[in-house]
Chains A and B, each alone.
Chain A
Amino acid sequence: DVKVTQSSRYLVKRTGEKVFLECVQDMDHENMFWYRQDPGLGLRLIYFSYDVKMKEKGDIPEGYSVSREKKERFSLILESASTNQTSMYLCASSEVTYEQYFGPGTRLTVT
């Protein structure tokens, strides 16, 4: 079974803090994704990585950056958290067929 883990299930941060969300997958997948999910807006892609150190912007990259130093790990960084970044953050990984496997999600609240 593919396993995707995320560092925290729930996180509360203050406005202006730097926030790190970590994602690890154990299936040697090439592709990794970060999404955020908000009521009524569905899943929106923040960033995508297709290889170590390789990344592409998704639909809503503003205010976020990513890091992929190892194949199994993909980090999402909020440089200066703002209240409009309060959301559910979902990490996923996939092979070339694009069948994505999701982690359990991190519910981030920025106060």
Chain B
Amino acid sequence: RKEVEQDPGPFNVPEGATVAFNCTYSNSASQSFFWYRQDCRKEPKLLMSVYSSGNEDGRFTAQLNRASQYISLLIRDSKLSDSATYLCVVNPPLGSSASKIIFGSGTRLSIRP
């Protein structure tokens, strides 16, 4: 099993729809998690952190399910500008080197008018 897995997509949804995707991880001791967004031919940008209690930022909600070892990202009322690749990031257990940070390969999202 890969350490971090994401469905590569593409997810092709109409504007205004709600879309969700997951990211599974294998190391149960992983401590913290992030979602990044990467536009075509640009650098990844931090979208939001993922906390045990969940995290909401406007139309975006991130959640962590430690029992099943996955994080999720939900986008409500999707906009054309949400089209991008979404990368999940799994940080290593406390005390581990930052070189153990793992990026998922990304899920491509395309919003159509």
Contacts and interface: CB of A to CB of B under 8 A. Distances in A.
Interface of A: 31, 33, 40-43, 45, 48, 50, 56-58, 90, 94, 97-105
A102 B98 contact: no
Contact of B49 (A43, A99, A103): A99
B43 A42 contact: no
Interface string B32-71: 1010000000111110010000000000000000000000
Interface stretch (B9-17, B19-27, B76-84, B99-107): B99-107
B73 interface: no
Interface of B: 32, 34, 42-46, 49, 87, 89, 91, 97-99, 101, 103-106
B99 A58 contact: yes
A48 B99 contact: yes
B42 A104 contact: yes
Given A99-B46, A104-B43, A42 B101 contact: no
B99 A57 contact: yes
A40 B104 CA distance: 11
B46 A43 contact: no
A25 to B, nearest CB: 13
A43 B32 contact: no
B90 to A, nearest CB: 10
Given A42-B103, A58-B99, A102-B43, 14 more contacts: A31-B98, A33-B98, A41-B105, A42-B87, A42-B106, A43-B103, A45-B99, A56-B97, A56-B99, A90-B43, A98-B101, A99-B46, A101-B46, A104-B42
A50 B95 CA distance: 13
A43 B87 contact: yes
Contact of A102 (B45, B49, B97, B101): B45
Closest 4 CB pairs of A and B: A42-B105, A102-B43, A48-B99, A43-B103
A100 B43 CA distance: 11
Contacts of B42: 104-105
Nearest to A6: B43
A97 B98 CA distance: 9
